[in-house]
A and B are shown apart, each in its own frame.
Chain A
Amino acid sequence: MGTTTQTLEHNLDLAAIRRQFPILNQQVNDKPLVYFDNAATTQKPLVVIDALKNYYQKDNANIHRGIHTLAERATADFEKTRDTVKEFIGAVHREEIIFTKGTTEGINLVAQTWGRANLKEGDEILVSGMEHHSNMVPWQMIAQEKKAKVIIIPINDAGELLMDEYEKLLNSRTKLVAVVHASNALGSINPVKHIIQQAHRHGAVVLIDGAQSTSHLDIAVSDWNADFFVFSGHKVYGPTGVGVLYGKRELLESMPPYQGGGEMIGEVRYDGFTWNELPYKFEAGTPNIADVIALKAALDFISVLGKQNIRSYENTLLQYAYTKLESLEGIRFIGTAKEKVSILSFVFNDIHHQDLGIILDKEGIAIRTGHHCTQPLMGRLCITGTSRASFAVYNTIEEIDRLEAGLKKAIKLFR
């Protein structure tokens, strides 16, 4: 792979990167696979697959409770991931890192613990108009229960937050602001540091949904002064079923536990229990040990390549894709924010996105079509869905040429 890619300006060895992803090397419908559904989930490098295999072949044991060698080894590796995550997202304390199943669970945890303890009737939760259902429904649920209100921060047609409107919405009733760092449907990058500063002025806490940003952008929770930050392992080249909730120590300490069970307790009597300390207070039961351990390999993989290199390469792919697809008759790009991650959403007025997806799949090209779990956003933009190509570090210029050719073929079939 990658003769023309060699001419691109970046510091990445694409051939070596692609060798890390054996899954890419296959035929789909008799065509070489082009995987452009990275915003849904990224593929996994060999280092991650090997970490999983290695754990089950050599180290498997339940953690934190055993005194035997395997248990110690597994515990040490598990806890090493916590340190790596801490560095990766710029947190100060390791106990601020809570392992979850993913972004969705992290948000629900905050809604059900912090939200239940702190929200009351008349309180306001601000969420943006471009949120994934995962950062919308948990707030609607707790708001309903507490008779609080969920208020939407509006966006413009390009898919950018209206920051003036945001500032006007903030007031003393605002208890929480929950905003996505990078939109999964549009790619827009939101100015999270500024959003956090503004919210803090009114005493509101802020949760940042980093599901789509963590593999592409520098994350600096402490520098931003974020209260909560969540992401999923499977979108950062890591395994499914593992994610991270970052919370400021004081906040996490003041929150009641989420689930009860083993690990999360200090002492249990027949008539009651005490909580364990952070982070274990929020990690009830045997955790997802193997996937947590393999998450470290994924984050190391990103760090070795370098976020700057990844970002600059992915941006080259995005700009190339824009120039290629722009010339297709009737195409309309959805999400044209100035600051974007490598997500390209588009529609044709006369071709349904589902039809496009079916034909591209026949051409071996995997894209995502539909509402991308952002139905309110689709309503705001007056569309029912989009076709979305999202790029990762292993994608190539040739693959974008394939996408262009596939779209041309589809257009010919449909028109």
Chain B
Amino acid sequence: MNISIDDIQKEIIEDFSILDEWDDKYAYIIECGKKLKPLPQEYKNEEHLVRGCQSQVWLHAEHKDGLVYFYAESDAIIVKGLISLLIKVLSGHKAEDIVKSDLYFIDKIGMQSHLSMTRSNGLASMLKTMKVKALLFLEQEKAN
């Protein structure tokens, strides 16, 4: 059995709890961004683009053996780092669990401002798109 969405969030919060200064937190996120696997070129197209105002985000989702997998990339590194955290938390879980998930870790690690509507970086639409994709997979599951 996979480690749950909840447990992964707790792990991330734990990791962040030792980072006091904002620059350390951002350095950590930037590091995550740098480590995120590049999205295959075939997915970097209009169809996979998540509309954000300033940075571009591409998202690809797959449904395999009852689990949902996310792959994504952005041209901005902080967003990319935040995306990698979202993927770490959500990818590889059941569609149902993703749809139901409450991503409280973003707030707990002090990154909630990146999710607000006033930050025009597409992260909020990214998260919404992830959930919508999971929801679509869930409906497919039910239809089958």
Interface size on A, residues (CB 8 A): 16
A88 CB to closest chain B CB (Å) equals: 34
Whether B121 sits at the interface, judged by CB under 8 Å, is yes
Q: Is the interface of A mostly helix, strand, loop or mixed?
A: helix
Query: B22, B27, B53, B79: which contacts A370 (Cβ < 8 A)?
Result: B53
Give every chain A residue within 8 A of B26 (Cβ-Cβ).
358-359, 362, 413
B23 & A354 in contact (Cβ 8 Å cutoff): no
Interface size on B, residues (CB 8 A): 16
Give every chain A residue within 8 A of B75 (Cβ-Cβ).
352, 384
Give every chain B residue within 8 A of A320 (Cβ-Cβ).
none
Give every chain A residue within 8 A of B136 (Cβ-Cβ).
none
Whether A369 sits at the interface, judged by CB under 8 Å, is yes
B23 & A352 in contact (Cβ 8 Å cutoff): no
A370 & B54 in contact (Cβ 8 Å cutoff): yes
Proximity bits, B37-63, A CB within 8 Å = 1, else 0? 000000000000000011110000000
B22 & A353 in contact (Cβ 8 Å cutoff): no
B23 & A353 in contact (Cβ 8 Å cutoff): no
364-378 of chain A: CB within 8 A of chain B: 369-370
Proximity bits, A381-401, B CB within 8 Å = 1, else 0? 000110000000000000000
Query: A351, A354, A362, A413: which contacts B54 (Cβ < 8 A)?
Result: A354
Residue of A nearest to B74 (CB): A352
Proximity bits, B69-83, A CB within 8 Å = 1, else 0? 000000111110000
Can you report 18 A-B residue pairs in the complex whose CB atoms are below 8 A from each other? A29-B22, A351-B77, A352-B77, A354-B78, A354-B121, A355-B76, A355-B78, A358-B26, A358-B78, A359-B26, A362-B22, A369-B54, A370-B53, A384-B56, A409-B23, A413-B23, A413-B26, A413-B30
| Interface residues, chain B, with chain A CB atoms under 8 Å away | 22-23, 26-27, 30, 53-56, 75-79, 120-121
